[in-house]
Structure 1
Amino acid sequence: MSESIRNINFEDEFDFQSSRSSGPGGQHANKTETRVTLRFDVSASAHLSDAQKARIFEKLGNAINSEGELLISSQESRSQHQNKEICIARFYDMIAKALKKPKKRKRTKPTRASRKRRLDEKRQHSEKKARRQKPDF
């Protein structure tokens, strides 16, 4: 599933915004907009099915704003272009993780030894409680 997501070109649906990066940097940081925010409208995407959209809303709800846009921002690099590439890579990783199906749990029986241990612990616990009671005379 994740490989097929990486093959889809979502980039025609991306909307990029740049802004000033926080933190130190002197004159350069005060006048250049190197932070990049990627906006992706999940509900309006033509590349995703309704089931995939629902799963993305469920898994990535914290990164989606009230308008239904997935927001990813990066200010790691001093280059706007590199931050844009980082955002795109994060987007594909997040979508692939959100759409990955969880493994089915295989039910197993407890082993004979584990059943014996559980019953022994129950017996010891019961005896401990019984020793706390007053004796019957």
Structure 2
Amino acid sequence: MIQINERVSIPKKELRFSFSRSPGPGGQHVNTTATRVTVFFDVEKTRSLTELQKMVVKGKLRRRMDKKGVLRISVHDFRSQNRNRQLAVDRFVEIMREALQKVSKRKPTIPTKGSLYRDKRVKKRRSQVKRMRRKPSMDD
């Protein structure tokens, strides 16, 4: 089981792994071994998440998902497939944890007297600068 947070854990069998050759330079080793790891997690078909959690995850992670609702995370940081695999699982946990975190509502605040005073001073100074840029009128 992969623990996401205190309420959500996902069985390892729900994650699917794919291995391929890493992009970029690297010599003979990179050209012969499949070190890039891609993790696939089907958000639509999982039993580990409630319907509400699925909706939240799909909303927050829609850019990382395909049209069928499969979350995809690729890692090719290391030369070792095992290290990339572990890093991919760690990133998956981190991404899911952030997606399932509740967002607290913003409480509107009243500006302090000091901040209102400073804002007024800044506005006044700015208007004076702009006034000085104008062409002089005949009355001046």
TM-score > 0.5 by shorter chain: yes
Which fold has the larger relative contact order, with Cα–Cα distance below 8 Å and residues 6 or more apart in sequence?
A: 1
Distance across 2 between alignment mates of 1:113 and 1:26: 62
Name which of structure 1's ranges 78-87 and 23-32 shifts more when overlaid on structure 2.
Answer: 23-32
> Structure 1 residue 122: deviation in Å?
6.5
Distance across 1 between alignment mates of 2:93 and 2:99: 10
Match of 1:3 in 2: 5
Distance across 1 between alignment mates of 2:119 and 2:125: 10
Q: Structure 1 segments of 4 or more deviating over 4 A?
A: 116-130
Q: CA RMSD in A?
A: 2.7
Match of 2:63 in 1: 62
2:53 counterpart of 1:52? yes
Instruction: Name the SS for the 1:4 alignment partner.
Output: coil
Which letter does structure 1 place at the counterpart of 2:115? Answer: S
- Tell me the TM-score normalised to structure 1 length: 0.79
- Relative distance call for 1:75 and 1:117 in structure 2 (3 A) is closer
> Structure 1 residue 12: deviation in Å?
1.5
Distance across 1 between alignment mates of 2:88 and 2:59: 21
Distance across 2 between alignment mates of 1:89 and 1:123: 53
> Structure 1 residue 123: deviation in Å?
7.1
1:113-128 alignment to 2 at 5 Å? 113-118=114-119
Name which of structure 1's ranges 117-126 and 60-69 shifts more when overlaid on structure 2.
Answer: 117-126
Equivalent pairs: percent with the same residue?
39
Distance across 2 between alignment mates of 1:41 and 1:81: 22
Instruction: Name the SS for the 1:3 alignment partner.
Output: coil
- Matched positions, count: 135
Which letter does structure 1 place at the counterpart of 2:5? Answer: E
> Structure 1 residue 18: deviation in Å?
0.5
